[in-house]
Amino acid sequence: MNWDNLAEEASISKTVEALKKNGVEAMVVENGVEAKKKVFEMLPEGAEVMNMSSVTLDTIGVSEEIISNEKYKAVKNELSKMDRNTHGMEMQKLGSAPEWSVGSVHAVTEDGKVIIASNTGSQLPAYAYGSAHVILVIGSQKIVKNMDDAMKRIYDYVLPLESVRLNKAYNISSGSYVSKVLIINREINPERVKVIFVKEKLGF
């Protein structure tokens, strides 16, 4: 199975409709430039925003824009000023419930389930409940048929690539782990979670 193939139009449409039935607003754009524009159309000036660690966001320039633009209260800027040894719990609370979270995911099923794998789990509280607003930018190659394919994609494709990234970025030769997995089956708060599908290979 090639987990890097962009989804076909029929698959994207099916997934968008399924997400909407499950309480997740979903839209489709052609490329990363349009995706970035959509993100900043949604973010209100003065908002507290946490850009989660994401190759997708880094690639399209969203991460840099959030932390460098004074229009937003960038949570990562606040965290960078704090010492984990003395403010560890405060940092955990701040990262777990920002007003807005912007990130990506590792798989979305055609029946509208969103799956995020994590080593530390740091981004999961905000996605699951902590943030009042969540924006997820997702390359359409991450759309899969079902949960079995979602887990295969994570273990067979995403994990090895993330291990390579960690080694290059932080010299962590032991690799990464699928320590925790969040599955969003349904969102009960209307308009809380918004998905932007991109017809372009972004992230992994």
Tens of pLDDT, residue by residue over 31-47, are 999 999 999 999 999 99
Q: Which of 184, 146, 137 is nearest to 37 (CA)?
A: 137
* Whether the predicted pLDDT of 173 surpasses 90: no
Q: Do 114 and 136 form a contact (C-beta atoms < 8 A)?
A: yes
Gap between the Cα atoms of 17 and 64, Å rounded? 32
Gap between the Cα atoms of 27 and 13, Å rounded? 9
Gap between the Cα atoms of 63 and 41, Å rounded? 15
Paired with 143 in beta bridges are 108
Least confident segment among 12-26, 47-61, 70-84, 168-182: 168-182
Paired with 128 in beta bridges are none
Q: Do 139 and 56 form a contact (C-beta atoms < 8 A)?
A: yes
* Whether the predicted pLDDT of 166 surpasses 90: no
Q: Which of 58, 2, 24 is nearest to 202 (CA)?
A: 58
* Whether the predicted pLDDT of 4 surpasses 90: yes
What confidence tier does 30 reach under pLDDT thresholds 50, 70, 90?
very high
Averaged pLDDT for residues 140-162: 97
